[in-house]
Chains A and B, each alone.
Chain A
Amino acid sequence: LLRRLRQENPLKQGQITPTELCQKCLSLIKKTKFLNAYITVSEEVALKQAEESEKRYKNGQSLGDLDGIPVAVKDNFSTSGIETTCASNMLKGYIPPYNATVVQKLLDQGALLMGKTNLDEFAMGSGSTDGVFGPVKNPWSYSKQYREKRKQNPHSKNEDSDWLITGGSSGGSAAAVSAFTCYAALGSDTGGSTRNPAAHCGLVGFKPSYGLVSRHGLIPLVNSMDVPGILTRCVDDAAIVLGALAGPDPKDSTTVHDPINKPFMLPSLADVSKLCIGIPKEYLVPELSSEVRSLWSKAADLFESEGAKVLEVSLPHTSYSIVCYHVLCTSEVASNMARFDGLQYGHRCDIDVSTEAMYAATRREGFNDVVRGRILSGNFFLLKENYENYFVKAQKVRRLIANDFVNAFNSGVDVLLTPTTLSEAVPYLEFIKEDNRTRSAQDDIFTQAVNMAGLPAVSIPVALSNQGLPIGLQFIGRAFCDQQLLTVAKWFEKQVQFPVIQLQELMDDCSAVLENEKLASVSLKQ
Chain B
Amino acid sequence: LAPWIPVVGLEIHAQISSNSKLFSGSQVQFAAPPNSLVSFFDASLPGTLPVLNRRCVEAAVMTGLALNCSINKRSLFDRKHYFYADLPAGYQITQQRVPIAVNGSLSYSLCIDNKMSQMVTKTVRIKQIQLEQDSGKSLHDDTRSQTLVDLNRAGVGLMEVVMEPDMCCGEEAAAAVRELQLILQTLGSSQAIMAEGQLRVDANVSVHHPGEPYGVRTEVKNINSIRFLAKAIDYEIQRQIEELENGGTILNETRAFDSKLGCTIPMRDKEGKQDYRFMPEPNLPPLILYDSKSLPANMNHQQVINIDWIHERLPDLPSVKREKLVEQYEILPEHSFTLLNEDGLAEFFESVVKQTQMKPKKVIGWILNDLLSYLKQHSLTVKESPVSSFLLADLLNLLEKKEISSTAAKQVLAELWKGEGKTPLEIVKEQKLELLQDQKELEQICQAVIDGQENE
Are the chains A and B members of one assembly? no
Point out residues on A near B: beta carbons under 8 Å. none
